[in-house]
Structure formats: C-alpha cells, structure tokens
Amino acid sequence: MNCKITRKAAKVLQMELDKEENKGLVVRVAVAQMHGDHAHYELGLDTQTENDTVVSTDKGIDVLLEKDVALLDGVVIDYFYLPQEGFMITNPSKGNHGDH
C-alpha cells in the first residue's frame, strides 16, 4: 500500500497531530463512498485496528489504510488554501483525479 502527502498537507496534519488531545492518534484515509471505479475519500485521526496497514510517508507522517481496499492504494493527500481551504484526497494511480 502506498500513500503520498504533499508538503502543504503534511504541515497542516503535523499541527493537528502535535495537539495534546491528539496524542497517540494516526492519520486515517478511508473510502466514504465507492462508485464503480472511483471513490470519495474521508480523512481523520484514529487508532490502528487489526484491519489496517500503517503506511510511512516521506514526510514522516504515518497513515492508516484499511487492508484489501484497492482504491486506497496510491492515495494522495493534498491541502489547498484557495478557492476554499481544505484537504483534497485523490488516487491518480486508479484514475481518480477529481474532487473526491
């Protein structure tokens, strides 16, 4: 399983992970909805379960991905300030390039 985090997203995620109330939690990417060959993703902080794979990224942030969910392999977490501030998760390796 692979996951990439952009520099902007890593900065925002690390600020959240550094908060006292989030100690011990890990970033999780999950599939909120599947539509045939693409997915809508959700992002949060969670603890690892037996169904998870922990993916270490080049930004020093670990990400939890549910095992055996093919649409999670290759996700990219990005962060944008404009036109609206927030995270965007896509999976270019699966042809998922839109706002999902």
For 40-57, write each residue's pLDDT tens digit.
999 999 999 999 999 999
- Per-domain residue ranges for the chain? 3-94
pLDDT confidence of 95, banded at 50, 70, 90? Answer: confident
pLDDT band at 98 (very low <50, low <70, confident <90, very high): low
Strand-strand pairing, 86-90 and 75-80: antiparallel
Tokens of 75: 């996700």
CATH number for 3-94 (one of 2.40.50.1070, 2.102.10.10, 2.60.300.12, 2.60.120.650): it is 2.60.300.12
Sheet arrangement for strand 52-56: 38-46, 26-35, 62-66, 52-56
